[in-house]
């Protein structure tokens, strides 16, 4: 099984604009409000193609988590999808990434729902 490096993507990223110290950095949009870059990507989850819209920071973290677990991104997303209760898939992914990273930093145990996601993703990689 080949797992991609989470920092690399087959997607082109726009080059960053360079700023000098004298130029103030204006948040995206120029109106004083922070804007997030939402990217829609297609994945095969449970044998079905689906689109998921997430901010780039969440895509990067999700790929990193999958890489560290040694599972494919679609397997991790499939497990999140099967364990979610009421939210849409994009929200469920954000909540999982947030909890996983928060608990990784603090050393606290994951919630039963997050543990079930990890166990489900790992089950999908186990030889049959």
Q: The domain that contains 112 carries what CATH number?
A: 1.10.3990.20
Would you give per-residue pLDDT tens digits along the chain (128 residues)? Answer: 445 555 555 444 443 433 344 444 444 555 666 667 899 999 998 889 999 999 999 999 999 999 999 999 999 999 999 999 888 999 999 999 999 999 988 888 899 999 999 999 888 666 54
- Within-domain flag for 4: no
How far apart, in whole angstroms, are the C-alpha atoms of residue 54 and residue 117? 19
- Within-domain flag for 104: yes
- Within-domain flag for 27: no
pLDDT at position 107 is 85
- Within-domain flag for 5: no
- Within-domain flag for 48: yes
Residue among 124, 40, 110 at smallest CA distance from 82: 124
By residue range, what is the domain housing residue 93? Answer: 38-125
- Within-domain flag for 83: yes
**Planar angle of CA 7, 47, 124, nearest 5 degrees:** 65
Number of domains in the chain: 1
- Within-domain flag for 24: no
């Amino acid at each position: 099984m080949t797992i991609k490096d989470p920092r690399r993507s087959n997607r082109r990223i726009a080059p960053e604009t360079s700023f000098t110290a004298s130029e103030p950095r204006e948040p995206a949009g120029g109106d004083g409000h922070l804007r997030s870059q939402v990217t829609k990507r297609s994945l095969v989850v449970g044998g079905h193609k689906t689109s998921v819209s997430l901010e780039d920071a969440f895509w990067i973290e999700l790929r990193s988590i999958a890489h560290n677990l040694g599972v494919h991104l679609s397997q991790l997303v499939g497990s999140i999808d099967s364990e979610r209760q009421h939210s849409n898939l994009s929200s469920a992914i954000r909540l999982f990434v947030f909890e996983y990273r928060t608990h990784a930093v603090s050393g606290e145990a994951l919630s039963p729902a997050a543990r079930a996601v990890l166990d489900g993703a790992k089950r999908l990689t186990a030889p049959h």
